[in-house]
C-alpha cells in the first residue's frame, strides 16, 4: 500500500507533465485552412510579433511557453517562413528558425534605377533608398565598368528567386551574375559582328522596345537603326526625345503621345535628333526579346519608319525620304483627326 501511495501520485504528476509537454510542443496549433502560409518576420520585431502570427495559431499561450523554452523569443530571425498546416509549436518554431523560403521577384520596362528600386522594394524587405545606394555604388562601377547612365543594363527583365530579407548588395550582385550568364559567347559574338558592345546593344534595344510592343516587328525596327548607324546617320528616334523631355523636366510620369518639332531641338545627351550614334545608356530596361531583336536584326534597305494608324502597334517602313514623307502624312492626318496634339 505504501508503494502504491508513492507510485500513484508519481504517475499522476508524470501524466500531467507529459500532457503539458504534449500540449506545449506537439499538439496541433495552427489555425488556417491553406496547406501552408508564409509569415514575415522583420528586424526589430519584439513580443509584438504575436500580431503577425496570432491569427494563424489557436493557442498563443502554449506557443509562447514553447517559444521561451526553445529560446526563440530573443533569437528571432528575419525572413519569409513557410508554416505548414496541422503542426505543433515545436515544429512551428523550428520552421520560424530554419524555413526561410525564397520568393520570386519580377520587374520589366523600368525607365530609371529609381523606378526599379521602387518596384523591387514592394516585393522584398529592404527599402528603395538602400537599393538605389547599392545600385549606384561607385566602387561597383569602377570594378565592373559601369556608370549611373548605363547601370540599368545589368538588370535583365525576368523572374528571379531571392530571399525576402535579401540585402541590397546581394540583389545587385545576383543581377550582375545573371547579366554575365545572359551574355554568353553566342550573344557576344553576334554583338561583335554588328560592331556594338554589350552596353551599346542594350541601349539600342531599349529604343527598339519603346518603338514597338510587337515582338515580331522588333527585328525589322532594329534593322532600320543598324542601317542608320552603318550610314553614319543620326538615329532620330522619337522615344529618345520623349525620354529627354522627361529627364529635362524631372517628371517621368509625363505621358507624351506626340513628339512636336520643337521637342527635337531639346539639348540632351539622349536626344538622338541632336547627337550622333547611341545615347549614353538605355532609355528603359529592354527585355530579352528586344535585345535579341538587335542581335538578330532583320537585314533590309529601310532607313525610315512611322506608326501605321490602321494596323495598330505596327509601322510603315520606307527606303527613302520621299516614301517616308508619304507615310508620315497618313499618320499625321490620323493624329489630327483624333485631336492628338501632345
Give the span between the Cα atoms of 12 and 7, in whole angstroms. 9
Q: What pLDDT digit, counting tens, does each position of 16-49 carry?
A: 656 556 666 788 999 989 999 998 888 766 544 5
From the number of C-beta atoms within 10 Å of its C-beta (0-12, 13-18, 19+), residue 84 rates as middle
Q: How high is the pLDDT of residue 6?
A: 64
Give the span between the Cα atoms of 240 and 284, in whole angstroms. 10
Domains contained in the chain, CATH given: 21-98 (3.30.1490), 103-182 (no CATH), 185-337 (no CATH)
Answer yes or no: are the C-beta atoms of 203 and 279 closer than 8 Å: yes
Q: Read out DSSP for 156-195?
A: --SEEEE-TT--HHHHHHHHHHHHHHHS-HHHHHHHHHHT
Spans of the chain, pLDDT less than 50 = 47-48
pTM of the model: 0.87
Collapsed DSSP state (helix, strand, coil) of residue 278: coil
Q: What pLDDT digit, counting tens, does each position of 265-319 carry?
A: 999 999 999 999 999 999 999 999 999 999 999 999 999 999 999 999 999 999 9
Answer yes or no: are the C-beta atoms of 71 and 90 closer than 8 Å: no
Amino acid at each position: 500500500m505504501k508503494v502504491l501511495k508513492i507510485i500513484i501520485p508519481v504517475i499522476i504528476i508524470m501524466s500531467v507533465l507529459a500532457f503539458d509537454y504534449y500540449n506545449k510542443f506537439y499538439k496541433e496549433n495552427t489555425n488556417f485552412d491553406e496547406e501552408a502560409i508564409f509569415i514575415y518576420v522583420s528586424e526589430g520585431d519584439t513580443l509584438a510579433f504575436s500580431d503577425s502570427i496570432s491569427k494563424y495559431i489557436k493557442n498563443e499561450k502554449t506557443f509562447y511557453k514553447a517559444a521561451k523554452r526553445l529560446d526563440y523569443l530573443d533569437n528571432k530571425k528575419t525572413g519569409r517562413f513557410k508554416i505548414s498546416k496541422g503542426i505543433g509549436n515545436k515544429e512551428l518554431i523550428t520552421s520560424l528558425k530554419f524555413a526561410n523560403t525564397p520568393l520570386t521577384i519580377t520587374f520589366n520596362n523600368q525607365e530609371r534605377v529609381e523606378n526599379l528600386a521602387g518596384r523591387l522594394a514592394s516585393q522584398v524587405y529592404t527599402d528603395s533608398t538602400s537599393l538605389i545606394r547599392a545600385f549606384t555604388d561607385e566602387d561597383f562601377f569602377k570594378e565592373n565598368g559601369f556608370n549611373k547612365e548605363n547601370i540599368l543594363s545589368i538588370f535583365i527583365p525576368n523572374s528571379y528567386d531571392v530571399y525576402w530579407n535579401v540585402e541590397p548588395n546581394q540583389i545587385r550582385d545576383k543581377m550582375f551574375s545573371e547579366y554575365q550568364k545572359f551574355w554568353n559567347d553566342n550573344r557576344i559574338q553576334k554583338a561583335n559582328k554588328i560592331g556594338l558592345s554589350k552596353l551599346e546593344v542594350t541601349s539600342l534595344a531599349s529604343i527598339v522596345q519603346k518603338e514597338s510592343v510587337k515582338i515580331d516587328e522588333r527585328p525589322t525596327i532594329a534593322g532600320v537603326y543598324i542601317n542608320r548607324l552603318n550610314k553614319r546617320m543620326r538615329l532620330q528616334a522619337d522615344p529618345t526625345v520623349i525620354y529627354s523631355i522627361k529627364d529635362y523636366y524631372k517628371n517621368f510620369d509625363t505621358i507624351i503621345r506626340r513628339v512636336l518639332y520643337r521637342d527635337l531641338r531639346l539639348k540632351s545627351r539622349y536626344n538622338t535628333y541632336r547627337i550622333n550614334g547611341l545615347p549614353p545608356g538605355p532609355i528603359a530596361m529592354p527585355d530579352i526579346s528586344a535585345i535579341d531583336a538587335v542581335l538578330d536584326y532583320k537585314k533590309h534597305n529601310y532607313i525610315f519608319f512611322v506608326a501605321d494608324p490602321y494596323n495598330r502597334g505596327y509601322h510603315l517602313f520606307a527606303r527613302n525620304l520621299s516614301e517616308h514623307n508619304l507615310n508620315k502624312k497618313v499618320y499625321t492626318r490620323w493624329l489630327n483627326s483624333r485631336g492628338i496634339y501632345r
